[in-house]
Structure 1
Amino acid sequence: MSNRKNKPIIGITIGDINGISAEVTMKALLDNRLQKLITPVIYAHGKAITYYRKQLQLDDFNFMQIKSVDEIHHKKINVINVVEECPEVIPGVETMEAGKMAIAAIDQAIEDMKANKIQAMVTAPLNKNNINSEELSFVGHTEYLTQAFEAKDSMMFMVSDDLRVGLVSGHVALKDVPAQITQKRIQEKLQIMIKSLQDDYGINKPKIAVLGLNPHAGEDGLLGAEEEEIIKPAIRAFKDKGEMVFGPYPSDGFFGMMHFKKFDGILAMYHDQGLIPFKTLAFETGVNFTAGLPFVRTSPDHGTAYNIAGKNVADEGSMRSAIFCAYDIIRQKGDWEEED
């Protein structure tokens, strides 16, 4: 491990400025505990931050405007303008200009991450509708970052204090899910999960539960063949290697009877199967962590929430957890060591 003079720099991409992204970011960064641990740099525009400082009466929120991470102030909250002209801030309204700024923030953070100028990336919520265009197809942060860093594979990993849920298939239509459930893909995701639990969370011998695809986990082939033909052989391959991988479990009973508390990680087959129980159990502190990338990326587990934007009622708990999570993983991976 290397000792560094300053705190780790965590880049926060602002997401959609017309949603709650700026509010939860600013409120989270007002936490004194965070300010002692990290140096934040917000990829946004100073005018947008100033707007919300006034709108939300966050008088204690002070920031330093910098042109690049090279000018970072380690005792300040730093803001980099990612567009020349700040779009008009209209809380609760979807605009194309806000979408352009959201993607510009991600692209600038990617550039700085590739140059090793920031140690982690926390992405505030954005709206895919105002980002997608004929020039750009944006399915989600996970896919965009995986492609940008030419990572072999990645996995959406929803994490909280006592619940960690990974997905085999992510942002795909439900009708397309079965085609993505292959033995190879399940094994690839299990490998990412095991490595992440070991490297990012310090769990030497993780215990993992795999959920079934069909109701009642297929009921021995009566309600679908995927469990018998695909999922069980994938689990067996890991058990043969001495890994603690179990299942497939019917997801309703698994969560309903709180069996998740016995496992370090849970592999769900598709988006809603994993995210509905996760958000029910851990919404205010849940974090979306992308496992398998060559750097640390987290985000809160909620969306833009246009309906409450600018009203000073958004809960910053998930964003705060996302920043703490990024810091904890940096420390666990051995990328950083605090000075005594």
Structure 2
Amino acid sequence: MTHGPIGAHMRKGPLRAGQRVQLTDRKGKPSTITLQDGGEWHTHQGVLRHDTLIGRSEGIVIANDAGYEYQVLRPLLNDYVLSMPRGATVVYPKDSAQIVQVADIFPGAHVVEAGVGSGALSISLLRAVGDQGTVHSYERREDFRDIAVGNVEAFFGQEHPGWQVRVGDMQEEALRAEEPGSVDRVVLDMLAPWECLEAVKQILAPGGVWVSYVASVTQMSRLAEALRASGGFTEPEAHETMLRTWNVDGLAVRPDHRMVAHTGFLLSARRLAEDQTPLQLKKREKVSEASSEDRAAWPGERWKDDPDAEEGWDPTALKTRTVSGKKSRKTAAYAQKIADQAKEVPRDG
């Protein structure tokens, strides 16, 4: 018996136990809860019983036992990502949308992802490849893998048959798991993506797209030069996306005071056929050589004139947030609890 597209039963029909719902109060503050039979949601405004929501349509306005009203809707993907349990910092929705577009993720594609984090980008990739596509994800930390698995299963309400997650270094594991030239798209969210250059060259099909998400200018520069030096890719393109919302209230129409500005850079390039040389674009004719100051900005690079340079990029130097194992294991347990509840939602409607 078919149950329709994967995860569709979590997105439509009456509200059911195990599903996530977003409750928005009159001040516009959203809160996300998982519905449970007999469950209660307690706030300083009173108690809202889950049974008053289960079986009803989303889009209703309902009051708790103190008469405090809430607007009830299922969270959109953007809402879900920002409210789900997390270990590593999530890829923001504005960047996930750009990655899906820039990488041209299409239904049925075979995508390799590295740096799973909390699974936010994995969800977007899985939705884009559809039921017939596959996403193979690689993550160094087992605790992050567990958080991501819980979040993805909670969103789809089941295990996604096209998703595989392996723990280990992508540049090693992918060479064992992927056939040469079998991957349509590669998406990397990691500290030093240039370390995967040779692996990507081997597994990515000619014409395939490689997109990397990096946080700093130094990482972006280092990767761009590595791609150019490799000779196996088109000229890399870099950009970032900034999102500014607006206040629209009568004649008071103005930008909001806060915005989601810099979160990361996207660097993309396409794989050339084997033994093909990229065109030397005219805009590169006057490119300058890297100065000693440039080289100093690239920690971990073993330059010919400095064989004692320290290897490896230090997350502390780049001021990236680190997550303790204890905290991530606790988060993983919570994410799995939500996933287990979601799996109980019937898939017949």
Q: What is the TM-score of this pair, normalised by structure 2?
A: 0.29
Which structure would you say has the larger RCO, counting Cα contacts within 8 Å and 6 or more residues apart? 1
Structure with bigger gyration radius: 2
Q: What is the TM-score of this pair, normalised by structure 1?
A: 0.29
